[in-house]
Structure 1
């Protein structure tokens, strides 16, 4: 049967200046039924000593100048020198309790031959206890000055038993598709609002990184411009990732790329722009010569084409009927958002239907028209007169 124990001694100085060492109390416990290694039993003994001292020392009601704790296990001392989080659950909990009750600087190393606690753990007959000076008065060197006490403890770095209790930390690296910033496009239906929000976010980031150049007040035009550039880069990173990598590495895109014929290049901001013969035009600015590449689905558009599509779609949305303008069944006029914008409904000349024509048969302008016509068909709102409805009366306007 295994056991572990701890014993407590008092070191006092009498009126003649003589140091007196006496056994105060001792306590032993039987080892757990589950097989426990010897180093763990030694740690349990250290915890028993710490709990023992914190519980009974105050009962003496005597002024105690210093506390010292001794163990003959170098493993225990090394465990106590490290944070409890470094060790496995069992060891970490015990080390944490000891560190809460005591200070690491109070722990010393004692040789097994001078450790009175070993008498209990190894066993001893009662008849032998009477004459064991080590048990009753502790090791002889305790009566000397602190400088004469043994100090042969060495910190361990690679001992197998010491490291066997170290917690195994597994570093797991996961790569995920980072679309978190792309989701910002779905949060706003207004580009101007999106630009302002991103501009404020970039301002906060800049202010946190540099306290010398903090920016306050309304958003400036330069901030809106930087916000637009950032959003364009995010969109291009999503749509033209391979082309971006090719342009950064070799400055040429693959011949299989859908951007190949546009002769793209990266500007100073890392944005893909269109090349081509316009670069020789003297009267055009850099931004007019080299427009930003953007896309809708699988279609590629320059800035002006995309702007045209967005304006036409806006006109479609502002032409949708909200309510009839009169109760006359022969009056098909309806109230639309356009009435609030220009005072009348928006109108445009009808165009030839190109929704069913293959994309490669269309000119670039007809491609713009096709996109807007498909949008109108996907979300159209039509008006019809119904006189056969069972639920509605005759000559009523019905919005479908």
Structure 2
């Protein structure tokens, strides 16, 4: 100090004894600079201001904080001022009671700002000795305010890191209220503006700039490359993407985000202990010095109102060739021919000649197609198939060369006619045959259009055999390569032909009952039934002949199929009982009788006391020695006693 002339020293330093006296307070950047401790302090005006809107505005403007050290505290005062300005009252009118209490608490906390001491240097490590310098910017938003704060992170040669406060800024949230994602996006824009200011104003070489946000919705907007936004979000995302890269953005939890203090407002006595001035602890931690790069996706895009509706567009590759792949959608030749004829008609409607007529542009043709139009469409179909299957052979013939001998068409001497179709050659040009019969069109045997041709002419001959179908194809002027196999395959798969020529199905018979397989003597197990009637002459009268009806009852052996036929005069129970007595007299007793539920059989059983469970009459049982059962229709399809009634052999 003695080296400088006295007139060059400041007035408060001319009589200063550096060794004994403490240096006075100086001013720097609008703040107080304590030279003894090399710290910055705030100068707060202690004069009482009136409790009016004018006094509130004067008190808030008296706090000069260009670097944003006290931004988390001053934002509360600005919020009170904005609430007061929304009310229609005089500037010198007293404050309302509820606002007066808030303002008094803020003014009381303002005096605590004098105790805040901020180190003038960002870091204790000289910047010239550091190995790496980074700028870390944090942003956050709430319904009250949006904020962003920047820190300088330096790392020395030993790997130790320090973090120093650079700049902080807050803005009141816009009115009317907007959504939280939009506020967070505005905070991200504020962080980008701080990054641009730091890059332009700092005269040190910074290695990297990292930006942090605690909103994954905003990070999804920044990383998005597939969806479009509405104008508000779109403009701000474009502003962010124009100045920063996606790799610079990182996620930070809300509880360690220092910008969160400025969005919620804290008292002045808590500023020194908060992370607003010192920065988050994880920036100094060695384990978190290298942040992992993470890609963020949109959060619930289906319900996000900021996203435009996703529009799906289909790209169509146009081909100058029709291609036979589309022909497989048709199962009959006639619809295919009509579809191609309609397509050719529409294509012709766009020509200059057609525009002068009644048919032009796209339209629905209601008239029937002429035979010439259908023939032209059929030629187009055959040309497409031949160009696809026999492209190499057609190319050789167009150059004037012969078809290679290893080709399957070499023995047919093929040539191209005036319509461009590939036909069979030979020595029949001077014959009286038509051009279609003498020089038929060559078609591949395994193509879908060939199957449609074979099915078309097979239906024309009313589903006749292979020879007639092949003859009809040859008469129509088609030479199908491997036609025998193709025609046989189609006839084999034809539903109508399989129904007409298929063999009758045989049902698997059930097992025979035990009485059909017994080795007992004949007529041990008997099935019986009645058939008829016949008209017979019973007697002669004076006027002519008297006719009567007669029936026959047939007894069939269940095991040997031997039969016994007896004549009965009526269908009553007594006639049946007499026939049964005659049968036992001739054939002997039986073990079992089977019959249906005819009225004469049921009446006879009732009269004789016989049921399906056995004989209740002992005299009849001793005489008959039998069991009676109704005759079921077996699943093997044969009801004995009915199928044998046509036999007339002698009992």
TM-score exceeds 0.5:
no
Please tell me whether Structure 1 or Structure 2 has the larger radius of gyration of its CA atoms. Answer: 2
Higher share in helix? 1
Normalised by the size of structure 2, how large is the TM-score? Answer: 0.29
Higher share in strand? 2
